[in-house]
Amino acid sequence: MRRDDKNAVWLRIALAQGISAPILFASAAIIGGFSHLGYSHVSQAVSELTASGAPNQSWLIAAFALTELLKITFGVGYYLAVRNLNRALAGSALIISAISVVGLGFARFPMDQIGSSLTFDGRVHIVIVSISAVMAIVSIALAGFGWRFVHTGKTLSVWSFAMLAMMLVSGLASVLVVANGWPGIGIWQRVNIGAFSAWQILTSIHLLRRV
């Protein structure tokens, strides 16, 4: 196999992680939730599955960390595939990998149990969540602008802005729910994560068709 052929194979493998990472994350969260007695996907956040002292914490932390590694790989492949198209897309790709590097910190800094005192680890966890959320929004916004200037990317541009709108609405709803003590944080958080995952999967598929 020639070097160019090998590079093409590795690029496709990297891009494919944009599909495998969301699937792994969703599968781990679903299985972890159903194996966690009393856990509600509607009223509880995903982070509660790996909170300090939570059951199944170890294997879920490992599964979520693997998800972040797969997303880093996807981000690298995404960057290599779009770096010559425009700076907005290149920036979007680099931010994807950066999000996941930051996200690896979740393994070290778990969420505090609901109702317990806020610890240093819990504070850092909140900071990581906040930084990741902002970076995800910026990444998708850059992708939406970037694909507008690519002949085959107009549909993906519209898709990016649609998922961005969904993330903004669900993110605001999550903040309001938590601030007012209303039920439903689990739903809104999953809508937010789902929008980002859907964007990532469609981006991966689009890029795989280009290379």
pTM for this structure? 0.92
What's residue 182's pLDDT?
Answer: 85
What's residue 6's pLDDT?
Answer: 72
Domain extent at residue 119: 3-210
pLDDT tens string, the chain, 211 residues long: the values are 455 667 889 999 999 999 999 999 999 999 999 888 889 999 999 999 999 888 877 999 999 999 999 999 999 999 999 999 999 999 999 999 999 999 999 999 999 988 889 999 999 999 999 999 999 999 999 999 999 999 989 999 999 999 999 999 999 999 999 889 888 999 999 999 999 999 999 999 999 998 8
The tally of domains found in the chain comes to 1
CA distance 161 to 52: 36
